[in-house]
Amino acid sequence: MLYPEHLLDEIRQRTDIVEIVSETVQLRRSGKGFLGLCPFHPDKKPSMNVNPDLGIFKCFSCGKGGNVFHFVMSKHGLTFPEAIRMLAERAGVPLPEDEIKDPEAQLKFSRKEAAYKVMESAEAYFRAQLKQSSGQLTYSYFIRRGFDDDIQQLFGLGYSPDSWTQTLQYLSEQGFSEQAMEDAGLILRRDKDNSAYDRFRGRAMFPIHDHLGKAIGFGARRMQEDDNQPKYINSPQSLIYDKSRVLYGLAQAKSTIRTLGHALLTEGYADTISLVQAGFGNAVASSGTALTVEQLQLLSRYTKKLFLVYDGDSAGEQASLRGLDLAIEQGFDVRLIALPDGEDPDSFVRNRGPEAFRRAIEQAWTIIQFKIESFRKQGLLDSPAEKSQSIRSLIDTVAKIPDVLQHDFYMQQIADTLHLSYGQLSHIYDELGKVRHSNSRQGQNNNTIQKKQVEDMSKVSSEEPLDFLTTYALPEEKEILRLALTHEPSLKTLCVKLNITRQAFLSDTAAKLYEEVVLAFVNHGGRPPHMVLSERGDLEDDVRDLLMEILFDQHTLSNKWKDFNVKIPQNVEERLLVESLARLRMKHLDKEIEALRKRLQMELPQEEELELLSKITVLVKERHDIPLKFHTSSI
């Protein structure tokens, strides 16, 4: 059967491709991805790359590539439906055929799909309302908070009309049922007659997205301070929204988190948006809930280094303490950014500026420094009994760190800070042996495995360059396809504004991939084409290989832009697209001119020779004019 897109997304969301591949391949970190010996051909040097951000793998020797479904299919000899079933069972995602005998469960499955769609429409509606006269107060509020138009667009900020049924009526006109709206948490019902009305009325709307960028809930702030309603109301737990499994802003931040190697975790929506606006694109929030294991597991796909940034008050401090041990147990390297009393990340960065916040990151406390300072502020280090209890709490925290090699460092830090002897602490450390032994044994096992992996990988030379495949398309074609796959405005320019067809490509494989990209855009406009195509099981091998090659060879801007304090052009993608099209057109012309010149070498009637010469002259002039027309100087 054909599975809906949201189901495949959910399976991929709950599946770590690095973990799946690592079960049969030893992987080591290489840049933003992982590298290992390809299991699909006799590989003597690491040729297979795994990109956890895009969820794909690619061998640059044998050409095998795809997403996690394709890896499982190739490795275990499964069909696409069989691979879906295997990964769904592993991820705990029920499939519709598993529920077919249960009418109630089947109905729930269909309702879930409808809930995703109605949320997408609601987000767009609230976004549009922000530009109406009724939304001006909210728009001004966003501007006062420092959220410019670009940041509003990035996070999908909007306004819910101050009406009991306006949103309900709009969504009904779009063909959505009240059941779908209720399942998505958009409406409530009156007790007296069960009639429906809007949950969100006259509020600033903060859409909550899953890590793939799909709207699954809303946070809504009141606009009238004299309103008796709560300052914030949020979407309820629903078929598609589980706040314990979501990190606000992760869809926008995941790429930056991967690049920088760490994440900033805040408490609220405004804190996260303000940090992103100030240039800290790796900020996320715990969506108004205490930090959970599920949220940490989701974040661990992108980084294992975490800076906790909570409000500088007692409540924020306690929230930090609660999240601290949990993050440590999940293997995170945790630092804590201490803000002054009365400050939150939003007010701090607005009042003191980005540079002050960068200094705060540089001066972030270790877990032990933070806990000691917290105990000191609470007066828990003043009496012998409370101090003894606090010391045991500190050592208990150290014992939870999976990497036992860090234990001595933190024990020494406790001793130095509290003016204790290391021997005293070691005695207490041994008293807490059960917890320590359990954690240390697991840590030692992990260290042994890691050591063996390093030793094994060191036998393989990492200095030898990979054999990149270059036979599928011209460099210009790859650049055009890269932009079409990863930059929606470029794709719209190609297929809508310029009406570029497959005839523009010289390589047959590039032409076929371009057709697939356009079809994916037309039929699945809400999803990135590379994600749609990577899930296709029926792509021709050469087309899939080219797709994977392009995705793994994505360009990044040179650091020289920053070194020389040069502003990065806003239209850099447009410039690349125009120049690539120009160069490709010139190669087309070269091919045509060469063919005509070969014909001229044959014995032809004078009239035909003159006609060929005329065509060549026209083509040569066009080729000569292209660099001037497109302002290109390096073609």
**Confidence class for position 501, pLDDT limits 50, 70, 90:** confident
What confidence category does residue 522 fall into, taking pLDDT thresholds of 50, 70 and 90? confident
Which segment of 4-18, 428-442, 612-626 scores lowest on mean pLDDT?
428-442
**For every residue of 443-454, which 3-state class applies, written as one string?**
HHHHHHHHHHHH
Between 31 and 507, where is the model more confident? 507
C-beta of residue 561 within 8 angstroms of C-beta of residue 568: yes
pLDDT range class, residue 460, cuts 50, 70, 90: very low
The answer for residues whose C-beta is within 8 angstroms of residue 472's C-beta and 6 or more apart is 507, 509, 510, 542, 545, 546, 549
End-to-end CA distance of the chain: 49
DSSP string, 464-531: SPP----SSS-HHHHHHHHHHHH-HHHHHIIIIIS---GGG-SSHHHHHHHHHHHHHHHH-TTS-HHH
User: Among 101-105, 107-111, 254-258, 446-450, where is mean pLDDT lowest?
Assistant: 446-450
Tell me: pLDDT of 97 over 70: no
Nearest to 328, CA basis, from 363, 370, 357, 360: 370
Q: Is the model's pLDDT at 352 over the cut of 70?
A: yes
Calculate ∠ Cα 64-61-516, nearest 5°.
40
Q: Which residue has the tokens 């030893």?
A: 26
Digit-coded pLDDT (tens) for 561-612: 444 444 444 567 777 888 888 888 888 888 888 888 888 888 888 888 888 8
Amino acid found at 405: L
Distance (Å, rounded) from C-alpha 49 to C-alpha 469?
13
* Coil vs helix vs strand at 222: strand
Look at residues 216, 208, 211, 24 and name the one whose alpha carbon lies nearest to residue 119. 216
For residue 156, name the pLDDT band (cuts at 50, 70, 90). Answer: very high
pLDDT at res. 601: 84
Residue 317 reports pLDDT greater than 50 = yes
Quick one: which H or E segment has residue 291?
none
pLDDT confidence of residue 195 = 95
Task: Choose the most confident range, by mean pLDDT, from 120-134, 252-266, 363-377, 436-450.
Answer: 120-134
pLDDT of residue 316: 52
Q: List helix spans (H) across 214-353.
A: 250-260, 269-277, 293-299, 314-329, 345-352
Task: Report whether pLDDT(405) > 70.
Answer: yes
Digit-coded pLDDT (tens) for 272-296: 999 999 999 999 998 766 788 888 8
Residue 436 has pLDDT above 80, yes or no: no
Q: Are 128 and 160 in contact (CB under 8 A)?
A: no
Summary mean pLDDT of the chain: 81
Could you give the CA distance from residue 335 to residue 365 in angstroms, rounded to a whole number? Answer: 6
Q: pLDDT band for 408, please (50, 70, 90 cuts).
A: confident
Give the model's confidence band at 99: pLDDT under 50 very low, under 70 low, under 90 confident, else very high.
low
The secondary structure element, H or E, covering residue 201 is: none
Would you say residue 42 has pLDDT above 90? Answer: no
The model's confidence at residue 107, banded by pLDDT at 50, 70 and 90, is low
CB 134 within 8 A of CB 163: no
Q: How far apart are CA 49 and CA 552, in angstroms?
A: 8
Count Cβ neighbours within 10 Å for each residue of 291-304 and write b for 16 or more, e otherwise.
bbeebbebbbbbbb
Measured distance CA(624)–CA(581) in Å, rounded: 15
Q: What is the pLDDT of residue 258?
A: 74
Q: Span 212-239, mean pLDDT?
A: 88
What pLDDT is attached to residue 518? 86
CA distance linking residue 350 with residue 566, whole number of Å: 25
- Average of pLDDT values for 256-266? 88
Summarize the confidence of residues 233-253 as an average pLDDT: 92
Task: State percent of the chain over pLDDT 70.
Answer: 84
Asked whether the predicted pLDDT for residue 319 surpasses 60, the reply is no
Strand 56-59 and strand 48-51: pairing? antiparallel
What is the per-residue pLDDT for 635?
Answer: 36
The confidence score (pLDDT) of residue 428 equals 79
**Structural domains present in the chain:** 5-98 (3.90.580.10), 106-241 (3.90.980.10), 244-355 (3.40.1360.10), 366-461 (no CATH), 475-629 (1.10.860)
- Amino acid (1-letter code) at residue 532: V
Distances (CA, A) of 158 to 165, 269, 286: 17, 13, 21
Q: How confident is the model at residue 208 (pLDDT cuts 50, 70, 90)?
A: very high
Sign of the dihedral defined by the CA atoms of residues 282, 52, 303, 435, in that order: positive
Q: Which helix (H) or strand (E) holds 15?
A: none
One-letter amino acid of 560: K
Could you report the per-residue pLDDT of 524-568, keeping only the tens digit for each? 766 778 878 877 767 787 888 888 888 876 554 444 444 444 444
pTM: predicted TM-score of the whole model, two decimal places: 0.59
Instruction: Determine contact, residues 280/263, Cβ cutoff 8 Å.
Output: no
pLDDT band at 462 (very low <50, low <70, confident <90, very high): very low
The confidence score (pLDDT) of residue 628 equals 56
What is residue 437's predicted lDDT score, i.e. its pLDDT?
A: 53
- Cα–Cα dist 572/49, whole Å: 28
Longest C-alpha distance within the chain, in Å? 111
In the prediction, which pLDDT does 472 show?
60
Cβ pair 467, 61 in contact under 8 A: yes
Distances (CA, A) of 348 to 150, 154, 286: 21, 22, 19
Within 13 Å and on the Cβ side, how many CA atoms surround 181? 25
Least confident of 158-162, 409-413, 420-424: 420-424
Distance of CA 630 to the CA centre of its chain: 34
CB-CB contact of 590 with 583 (8 Å):
no
